[in-house]
Structure 1
């Protein structure tokens, strides 16, 4: 099969499915529809996508470099306002009880940008990063790997390739967090936990969570790590160190932030060890701070402070964003509110620290008489961001539901590249279901979004 994959110049990204041979496309859809491979996501939809997005391999890697550049610019905005995690927490007026936060943590890329999955919408093929999603509680990896492998097996001639493995890249990144030297083995804990929200709450079963984490533990062992799998309730110790049974723990593979943990005793033990430096968190809790959407607003506030190339990057790939919140200077607050009233139909509002699409409101769906009240009331106690509303590209997607019915619908999508130490590995895609109205709410798995992934078309050159 000969298909020349050209995604245009610059940092554009297009779904190339329609360029593939029709017979091969039909065969993949047939195999997907008949296969018994419904992926058991932690946040399942009633629908499954029957084919992946298809990107040019070169465009995919340019996309990863672009995402890494945006994250670097976000960290620069944070470092203009804070030198430590504690200072950044205060600058963001963050109200979360981050009990595993080390306030003395320096704001370095090596610590804070270890793992990220920024969300991008494509408009005319141009990626626009609307959220940064940095930190420990980033999900979707096991299902992502299963999907890409299943689609690759289903493609008739093997030309489409899986992207770099997120599981392997994350395990290599985890191995880099293990203390060096010291003679003797260093042990990594892959824990289960009970929680009030997030994946553990969704699964609501420690055994199910253990099954979900099994690929992470296997990948860590394949990376040469000594892995212990146990519940957080089994961990004992404190400032002098952490143990599970007779095993001392050096690194905790945390896929949670402390406010969601339901076991207060475990949090206390972990906190004492983290603050004493006797254990490392694979992803420091400080890394969740730059995920605040207010950081995107800071990037636009700081445009004149960036180098020209970075300023161009922000203007071209981060939609205009401003913030409203407590302790804001009155003149800035008045200016932002006046702009928001004038431009209501072209804006959306979100909580700065919200997740799962909670609190998202599109201005064009709010009566003008209610818009100003909504903004002023919500921003009195919590920080909000206003962001330019984007109308994303759509692609013609084939779906199957749990009862075998099939349908086709033109749907938008969110593309979220995984970045491990700044390098792209995999990408998580979400669509609204074929029956959903994407104008009502953002595309999110918490709102019945459909998970998907990408395959890559090797570039054949001119």
Structure 2
């Protein structure tokens, strides 16, 4: 069993920007303000950050180990309640139409934890993981790598380093998901698709989506795969296999869940191939089940069942979380509601399955009557989670507006490491914009959050 220590003073994750030489900092800010940017996966907002967060290289890798440990503990909680994806879907009372879900999929770390991007808030430098974000529709990679490379070029003394490449790590995992057979190279499909939400809907143009996916296709080729780039509408086959033209497909790089696909006919073809095992998904749809916030509540329910090191990890890095919803015993429901009433001002509520901050309510911003009313009403049909409110650290960040205006604000950060097969590679950072009230709502790009990334400072330079 692996041991994970609490994130004490020597392992805390702090922004070290203020420790860097003042002249070099000013130079990077000037270069960033003059740069022709404003492209982060073609999802521009009103503001952009002019400098990265700077982390100690050692602390960054410890952060990755903590995140991997939390993901492993999450999977253990799921496996105590289910052995297959179908059983987990029922245990979660999940109402999503996951048409690419293989109900017989075993809950193994090798399959389900290939790709994750958990969200952490930092308090006193200690990471608190508030969401897990495991599964197919995790995007933002190409733009983040372009931005970190630009920041690294702008830091002229060469001390600051880019984090490990998410693109390359993801491509290696993609190649590992479909090992070559019969002496031939495996072939991956990097598809375009039409959808009502997600990156395809935001780009709203097949050519733009193809440009966005180009780095993923190039990285897959470099990892040793034959790559086919085509629209899902071109896919044919079924249980006996999947083809695009004369090319048989071994693995599909899916940055989507079937719940948002508008290509209905293609979903049926893809589903038949997935259920028959004639094609693999990178990543399987079952992965998104582990993103349910109820899993965090299960981890706290199971504290006495974990090994001591895992129990310590959860208590130190996963804020207290409980659930309300269908299938809950009256006794458990009553206990959660009583605690929710007692501790309202220190809690937030979220839907167990939700994205973009939808349904988020902060207990200290509503009346006691509104609070209990929404908890009892919403949880009759859908699972909610209550979570201890985490008040994050703030850091001084420089921003540039689309109109050229520059502002400085002390803002919190959501820091989300990319985990590929349990190893950290890159990170996604989000801040509220300089004009936003960070106490009002969660930091989310859909609500105007500013995307950012990190650079690393070798410990010999600290």
- Flag whether TM exceeds 0.5 (same fold): yes
Determine the structure 2 residue equivalent to 1:123: 123
Q: Residues 44 and 445 of structure 1 are in contact (CA less than 8 Å); yes or no, is this contact kept in structure 2?
A: no
Determine the structure 2 residue equivalent to 1:179: 179
Please list every run of 5 or more consecutive structure 2 residues that lacks an aligned counterpart in the other structure. Answer: 1-6
| Counterparts of residues 57-136 of structure 1 (less than 5 Å) | 57-136=57-136
Q: Residues 40 and 140 of structure 2 are in contact (CA less than 8 Å); yes or no, is this contact kept in structure 1?
A: no
Determine the structure 1 residue equivalent to 2:263: 263
C-alpha displacement at 1:37, in angstroms?
2.2
Q: Distance in 2 between matches of 1:461 and 1:434?
A: 31
Determine the structure 1 residue equivalent to 2:4: none
C-alpha displacement at 1:457, in angstroms?
0.2
Q: Distance in 1 between matches of 2:10 and 2:46?
A: 37
Determine the structure 2 residue equivalent to 1:22: 22
Q: Distance in 2 between matches of 1:185 and 1:311?
A: 43
> Is structure 2 residue 387 aligned with structure 1 residue 378?
no
Q: Distance in 2 between matches of 1:456 and 1:223?
A: 25
Q: Residues 40 and 144 of structure 2 are in contact (CA less than 8 Å); yes or no, is this contact kept in structure 1?
A: no
C-alpha displacement at 1:42, in angstroms?
3.9
Q: Secondary structure at the match of 1:212?
A: helix
Q: Distance in 2 between matches of 1:40 and 1:426?
A: 15
TM-score, normalised to structure 2, is 0.97
C-alpha displacement at 1:180, in angstroms?
3.2
Determine the structure 2 residue equivalent to 1:344: 344
Q: Distance in 1 between matches of 2:84 and 2:41?
A: 36
C-alpha displacement at 1:179, in angstroms?
3.0
Determine the structure 2 residue equivalent to 1:192: 192
Q: Distance in 2 between matches of 1:146 and 1:19?
A: 25
C-alpha displacement at 1:10, in angstroms?
4.6
Q: Distance in 1 between matches of 2:11 and 2:285?
A: 31
C-alpha displacement at 1:263, in angstroms?
1.2
Q: Residues 57 and 459 of structure 1 are in contact (CA less than 8 Å); yes or no, is this contact kept in structure 2?
A: yes
Q: Secondary structure at the match of 1:62?
A: helix
Q: Secondary structure at the match of 1:460?
A: helix
Please list every run of 5 or more consecutive structure 1 residues that lacks an aligned counterpart in the other structure. Answer: 1-6
Q: Distance in 2 between matches of 1:260 and 1:182?
A: 35
Q: Secondary structure at the match of 1:455?
A: strand
Determine the structure 1 residue equivalent to 2:288: 288
**Number of residue pairs matched?**
456
| Counterparts of residues 95-244 of structure 1 (less than 5 Å) | 95-244=95-244
Q: Secondary structure at the match of 2:459?
A: coil
Q: Secondary structure at the match of 1:194?
A: coil
Determine the structure 1 residue equivalent to 2:323: 323
Q: Distance in 2 between matches of 1:409 and 1:319?
A: 27
Q: Distance in 2 between matches of 1:186 and 1:127?
A: 39
Does the C-alpha gap of structure 1 residues 239 and 418 become closer, same or farther in structure 2, counting only changes over 3 Å?
A: same
